């Protein structure tokens, strides 16, 4: 029986909450429709604020992302290079590091005899080395046998070799003092750093199970982690001296900058938030003047302070939910339109913004700033309404300067257990503290006076007897 009563009570409470929320939504919808022009003006203010924050933030993040892409193109995508002797056990230790993405290995093999025109360095390397130094096989495949080789297209053209897989190339080796013939199996994409400095390189297959002296180990880490800490961790595990650790500082600085919030974006966001706050407060304040009597009537028939506060907040929140997606779309469209001329506003060098980056933190920033604005507006408007008496609210009289007096005893809980007429009676009884104390004092003194008269009459009657 007790469980049934509890279930029934919870069902009734749930039903009341649903009805109350439905009523609140209906009132909010009615206000938005009734004051359509002002609601539209508030939405426009939120849209402009959101568009400005999203537009500037998206441009800043897109420019930084473009700068990272440019740096990777110029210097490679690896984060560090270790100049060490490498073997299978050391390679396994590096692979077991949790944040390692790729490991490229290269080892000097030989070079061609200088002929006064070109010198070609021949190295052994794995496939990840090619990717980490910003290249790839654009024709053919990567070498897998000892007599196979891969060379960049610009090097082949300088050598006068036809850049087609299957071509046999003869090298006069400087160290081995012999001639060796290799089969060209892969044409590599040109690497800007080597091409700009004229360094020519040919790549043989590297067996990762062998040991190599004075090898260069290129490592790429997960960019969402602390890369400098990971670099130091591997150096300590393998006991590598710092002079043999070569960080890709240009890329690390570019990545570090991309993760920070741009000061210009932050300043513009704050300014946009303040302007939005002033605009919404001004427009909503005018709208409130026209519905003061409605709020006064609500208070008169029993609406609590929290209900009035929630009504104000949910109305602005509804307008925010309507306006935010529109503002985001407008901001992204503006960022796309201005991307061609904004490449050097957020980075040290000029970059071309080819792709717009959708950043969750930018969207979140716009939502938070607008949400703070409507909370402040709600509290300011609510304070203005609350300080007025019921009569002044109904009459729309704003000239009074009466401070709101706290009730002696809160009677909100009586709403659920008493009929509405009795609830209003109790609410009015306890609304005015001074009047309550004055009336009760009169009642107590009057009752005390009557009791004293009765006592004296009885005493007088007894003495006469």
Name the residue ranges covered by the structural domains of the chain. Answer: 1-27, 35-67+270-395, 77-247, 412-464
3-state secondary structure the chain: CHHHHHHHHHHHHHHHHHHHHHHHHHHHHHHHHHCHHHHHHHHHHHHHHHHHHHHHHHHHHHHHHHHHHHHHHHHCCCCEEEEEEECHHHHHHHHCCCCEEEEEEEEEEEEECCCCCCCEEEEEECHHHHHHCCCCEEEECCCCCCCEEEEEHHHHHHHCCCCCCCCEEEEEECCCCCEEEEEEEEEECCCHHHHHHCCEEEEEECCCCCCEEEEEEEEEECCCCCHHHHHHHHHHHCCCCHHHEEECHHHHHHHHHHHCCCHHHHHHHHHHHHHHHHHHHHHHHHHHHHCHHHHHHHHHCCCCHHHHHHHHHHHHHHHHHHHHHHHHHHHHHHHHHHCCCCCCCCCCCCCCCCCCCCCHHHHHHHHHHHHHHHHHHHHHHHHHHHCCCHHHHHHCCCCCCCCCCCCCCCCHHHHHCCCHHHHHHHHHHCCCHHHHHHHHHHHHHHHHHHHHHHHHHHHHHHHHC
pLDDT of residue 447: 65
The model's confidence at residue 246, banded by pLDDT at 50, 70 and 90, is very high
Cβ atoms of 121 and 111 within 8 Å: the answer is yes
For residues 162 and 353, which has the higher predicted lDDT (pLDDT)? Answer: 162
Q: Is the pLDDT of residue 49 over 60?
A: yes
pTM flag (> 0.75): no
Q: Tell me, what's the pLDDT at 408? A: 44
Give residue-wise pLDDT tens across range 75-85: 889 999 999 99
**pLDDT, tens digit (0-9, with 9 covering 90-100), for 105-149:** 999 998 888 765 778 899 999 999 999 998 999 999 999 988 999
- Cβ–Cβ < 8 Å for 171, 71: no
Q: What is the pLDDT of residue 2?
A: 40
pLDDT tens digit sequence for 212-239: 888 999 999 998 888 999 999 999 888 8
Quick check: 394 pLDDT over 50? yes
- Nearest Cα to 164, choosing from 138, 136, 128, 143? 138
Provide, rounded to the nearest whole percent, the portion of the chain with pLDDT above 90.
19
Confidence at 18, pLDDT banded by 50, 70, 90: very low
pLDDT in tens, 404-422: 444 444 555 555 566 656 6
Q: Which pLDDT band holds residue 346 (cuts at 50, 70, 90)?
A: low
pLDDT, averaged across the chain: 78
């Amino acid at each position: 029986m007790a469980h049934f009563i509890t279930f029934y009570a919870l069902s009734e409470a749930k039903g009341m909450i649903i009805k109350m929320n439905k009523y609140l939504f209906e009132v909010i919808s009615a206000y938005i429709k009734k004051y359509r022009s002002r609601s539209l003006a508030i939405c426009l203010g939120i849209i402009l604020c959101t568009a400005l924050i999203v537009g500037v933030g998206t441009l800043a993040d897109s420019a930084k992302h473009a700068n990272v892409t440019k740096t990777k193109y110029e210097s490679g995508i690896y984060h560090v290079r270790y100049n060490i002797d490498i073997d299978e056990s050391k390679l396994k230790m590096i692979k077991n590091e949790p944040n390692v993405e790729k490991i490229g290995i290269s080892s000097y093999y030989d070079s061609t005899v200088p002929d006064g025109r070109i010198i070609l360095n021949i190295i052994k390397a794995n496939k990840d080395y090619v990717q980490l130094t910003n290249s790839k096989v654009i024709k053919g495949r990567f070498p897998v046998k000892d007599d196979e080789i891969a060379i960049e297209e610009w090097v082949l053209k300088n050598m006068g070799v036809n850049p087609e897989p299957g071509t046999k190339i003869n090298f006069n080796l400087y160290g081995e003092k012999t001639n060796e013939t290799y089969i060209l199996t892969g044409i590599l994409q040109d690497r800007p750093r080597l091409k700009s400095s004229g360094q020519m390189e040919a790549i043989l297959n590297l067996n990762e199970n062998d040991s190599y002296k004075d090898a260069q180990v290129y490592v790429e880490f997960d960019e969402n982690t602390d890369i400098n800490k990971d670099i130091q961790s591997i150096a300590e595990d393998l006991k590598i001296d710092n002079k043999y650790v070569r960080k890709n500082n240009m890329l690390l600085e570019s990545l570090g900058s991309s993760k920070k919030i741009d000061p210009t974006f932050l300043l513009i966001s704050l300014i946009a938030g303040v302007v939005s706050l002033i605009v919404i407060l001004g427009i909503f304040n005018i709208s409130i003047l026209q519905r003061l009597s409605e709020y006064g009537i609500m208070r008169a028939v029993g609406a609590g302070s929290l209900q009035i506060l929630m009504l104000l907040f949910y109305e602005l929140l509804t307008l925010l939910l309507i306006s935010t997606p529109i503002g985001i779309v407008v901001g992204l469209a503006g960022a796309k339109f201005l991307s061609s001329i904004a490449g050097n506003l957020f980075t040290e060098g000029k970059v071309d913004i080819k792709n717009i980056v959708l950043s969750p933190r930018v969207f979140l920033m716009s939502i938070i700033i607008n949400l703070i604005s409507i909370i402040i507006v709600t509290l300011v408007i609510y304070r203005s309404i609350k300080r007025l008496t019921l009569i002044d609210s109904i009459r729309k009289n704003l000239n009074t300067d009466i401070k709101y007096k706290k009730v002696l005893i809160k009677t909100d809980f009586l709403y659920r257990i008493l009929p509405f007429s009795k609830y209003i009676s109790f609410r009015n009884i306890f609304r005015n503290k001074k009047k309550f104390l004055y009336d009760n004092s009169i009642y107590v003194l009057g009752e005390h006076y009557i009791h004293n008269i009765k006592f004296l009459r009885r005493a007088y009657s007894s003495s006469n007897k």
